[in-house]
Amino acid sequence: MFQDVDSLLSNPASTSGIFNESGYESSENRNVPSTPRSSGKKIPQYVATFTATFSAVAGGLVLAWTSPILDDLKDGKYRHIPLDQSEIGWIGSFVTLGAMAMCIPTGFVCDLIGRKKTLLLLVIPFTVGWLLILLAENILMIYFGRIITGMAVGACCIATPLYVSEIAHKTLRGTLGSYFQLMITVGILVAYLAGKFLSSFHFTILCSVFPGAFFILFFFQPESPVYLMKKGLYDQGKLSLIRLRGDLYNVDAEINEIEGCLKENSQTAISLTAMLKKKPAVKAFIISASLSFFQQFCGINAVIFYASDIFATSGTNIDSHTACIIVGIFQVFATFTSSLVIDKLGRRVLLLISTLVIWVSLLQLAVYFTLKNRTTIDHHTVTELGFLPVGSLCLFIIAYSLGLGPVPWVISSEIFPIEIKSIVSSVSISFNWFLAFVLTKYYLPVSDSVGKDSTYYFFSTMSLIGGILVYFCLPETKGKTVNEIQKELDR
User: What is the domain partition of the chain in residue ranges?
Assistant: 1-10+35-268, 270-491
Cα 147 off chain centre by? 19
pTM of the model: 0.78
Residue range 244-266: average pLDDT? 76
pLDDT digits (tens, 9 = 90+) for 478-490: 767 666 777 888 7
More confident residue, 477 or 466: 466
Residue range 172-195: average pLDDT? 88
Q: Is 8 helix (H, G, I), strand (E, B) or coil?
A: helix
Indicate the average pLDDT of the chain.
Answer: 81
pLDDT at 420: 64
pLDDT digits (tens, 9 = 90+) for 418-473: 566 667 777 888 888 898 888 877 877 888 889 888 999 999 999 999 999 999 88
Closest CA to 259 of 236, 235, 286, 230: 230
Residue range 267-291: average pLDDT? 73
pLDDT at 202: 96
**Domain covering 270-491: architecture:** Up-down Bundle (1.20)
Whether residue 277 is predicted with pLDDT greater than 90 in this model: the reply is no
Q: Are 21 and 189 in contact (CB under 8 A)?
A: no
Q: What fold is seen in the domain 1-10+35-268?
A: Growth Hormone; Chain: A; (1.20.1250)
Which distant-in-sequence residues (6+ apart) come within 8 Å of 180 by Cβ? 53, 56, 157, 160, 161, 164, 409
Q: φ, ψ for residue 247 (rounded to 5)?
A: -65, -30
Q: Kindly list the distances between the CA atom of residue 137 and the CA atoms of 78, 80, 81, 134, 329, in Å, as whole numbers in the listed order.
A: 10, 8, 7, 9, 34
Q: Kindly list the distances between the CA atom of residue 452 and the CA atoms of 7, 69, 294, 335, in Å, as whole numbers in the listed order.
A: 47, 21, 19, 27
Q: Are 68 and 194 in contact (CB under 8 A)?
A: yes
Q: Are 68 and 204 in contact (CB under 8 A)?
A: no
Within this chain, domains 1-10+35-268 and 270-491 share the same CATH topology: yes
CA distance 203 to 427: 34
